[in-house]
């Protein structure tokens, strides 16, 4: 495991264990920032004109600094700080700036209750990209009959749809490209083997979708199963040759953001509807999935639809009303 990956894993564990302290410190900094600064954060052109160093030397700035320190005592005492040295107040201030300046809203398919986030793997891919970049993003689910008029009229009802201030984009790949352009750090397109990884990974979702939607056990269904196995075989071969440990190299990339939701759906819907499991002989692929749970488990758990939600979505795609209703009932029970 590289030092970069180890440091990032430690940092994520630290942030997860001390989230309450971090939120309190961020709130303290936000409340202390002068209104003129908060107003300027809405204008990208004027952000750099604010002298933060000078402000921290004022009485108000010193008070904000002390308040943040008070709320982050558990962080200062945390053993992981011996591994990951964090300039604490600078990191908190940076987080304050990021969460203040980003105005991201992602409109997504809702679940069967029309309120919770649904099963869309492309929406999850965008959430993974945003989460990797440390961006706050408001997730707004819509049922088919409750989409805002402007989504229907201006975008043909397509989702996921990203709002970033006055900019609105559909198509998950276009949204991912926009996030990379507007929020380039950390980059999700700089991995050494990104092109090769995407060439190997991109065909997998469509191959699975064709197979999972097939409801007849005939020669055509068998051909679709064979095509899926072939796509997984090529992906496994790529991972065996290139991955270390992500699909395109040492860091999370856009390829991982789209591939991980696909594999999540294959694991759940494949077993539920096609009695299909990823072959164990694809050892590099199986290891990749396990490693991603280890390295990105927190982010995946926050963004992945639960198994019943995945089954509900694919049951609808297959026209299986009974299975869709059973999954919806299961979801209702888990939320009761």
| Per-residue model confidence as pLDDT tens digits over 256-300 | 999 999 999 999 999 999 999 999 999 999 999 999 999 999 999
Q: Is residue 242 part of a domain?
A: yes
Whether 20 and 95 map to the same domain: the answer is yes
Whether 13 and 111 map to the same domain: the answer is no
Q: What is the pLDDT, as a whole number, of residue 156? A: 96
Q: Is residue 313 part of a domain?
A: no
Q: Is residue 315 part of a domain?
A: no
Q: Is residue 256 part of a domain?
A: yes
How many independent structural domains does the chain possess? 3
Q: Which domain holds residue 35?
A: 3-101
Q: What is the pLDDT, as a whole number, of residue 159? A: 97
Q: What is the 3-state secondary structure (H, E, C) of the chain?
A: CCHHHHHHHHHHHHHHHCHHHHHHHHHHHHHHCCHHHHHHCCCHHHHHHCCHHHHHCCHHHHHHHHHHHHHCHHHHHCHHHHCCCCCHHHHHHHHHHHHHHCCEEEEEEECCCCCCECCCHHHHHHHHHHHHCCCCEEEEEECCCCCCHHHHHHHCCCCCEEEECCEEEECHHHHHHHHHHHCCCCCCCCCCCHHHHHHHHHHHHHHHHHHHHCCCCCHHHHHHHHHHHHHHHHHHHHHHHCCCCCCCCCCCCHHHHHHHHHHHHHHHHHHHHHCCCCCCCCHHHHHHHHHHHHHHHHHHHHHCCCHHHHHHHHHHHCCCHHHHHHHHHHHHHHHC
| Per-residue model confidence as pLDDT tens digits over 89-128 | 555 554 454 444 457 999 999 999 999 999 999 999 999 9
Q: What is the pLDDT, as a whole number, of residue 56? A: 60
Whether 81 and 136 map to the same domain: the answer is no
Whether 7 and 75 map to the same domain: the answer is yes
Structural domain ending residue among the three candidates 150, 182, 214: 182
Q: Is residue 54 part of a domain?
A: yes
Domain CATH number, residue 158: 3.40.30.10
Whether 112 and 41 map to the same domain: the answer is no
All residue ranges of the chain with pLDDT < 70 are 1-57, 60-102, 243
């Amino acid at each position: 495991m590289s030092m970069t990956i180890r440091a990032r894993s430690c940092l994520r564990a630290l942030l997860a264990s001390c989230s309450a302290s971090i939120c309190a410190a961020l709130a303290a900094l936000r409340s202390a920032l002068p209104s003129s600064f908060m107003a300027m954060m809405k204008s990208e052109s004027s952000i750099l004109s604010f002298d933060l160093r000078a402000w921290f030397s004022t009485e108000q700035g010193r008070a904000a600094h002390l308040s943040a320190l008070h709320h982050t005592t558990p962080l200062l005492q945390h053993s992981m700080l011996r591994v990951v040295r964090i300039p604490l107040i600078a990191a908190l201030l940076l987080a304050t700036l990021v969460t203040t300046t980003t105005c991201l809203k992602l409109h997504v398919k809702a679940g069967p209750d029309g309120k919770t986030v649904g099963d869309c793997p492309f929406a999850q891919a965008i959430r993974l990209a945003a989460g990797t970049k440390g961006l706050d993003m408001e997730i707004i689910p819509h049922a088919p009959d409750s989409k805002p008029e402007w989504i229907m009229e201006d975008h043909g009802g397509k989702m996921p749809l990203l709002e970033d201030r006055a900019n609105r984009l559909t198509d998950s790949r276009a949204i991912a490209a926009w996030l990379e352009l507007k929020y380039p750090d950390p980059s999700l397109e700089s991995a050494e083997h990104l092109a090769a990884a995407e060439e190997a990974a991109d065909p997998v979702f469509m191959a699975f979708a064709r197979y999972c939607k097939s409801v007849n056990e005939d020669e055509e269904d068998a051909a679709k199963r064979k095509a899926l196995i072939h796509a997984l075989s090529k992906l496994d071969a790529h991972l065996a040759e290139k991955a270390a440990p992500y699909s395109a190299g040492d860091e999370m990339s856009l390829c991982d953001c789209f591939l991980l939701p696909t594999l999540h759906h294959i694991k759940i819907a494949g077993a539920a509807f096609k009695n299909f499991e990823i072959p164990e002989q694809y050892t590099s692929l199986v290891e990749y999935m396990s490693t991603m749970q280890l390295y990105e488990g927190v982010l995946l758990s926050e963004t992945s639809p639960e198994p019943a939600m995945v089954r509900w979505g694919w049951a609808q795609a297959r026209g299986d009303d009974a299975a869709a209703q059973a999954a919806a009932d299961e979801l209702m029970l888990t939320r009761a």
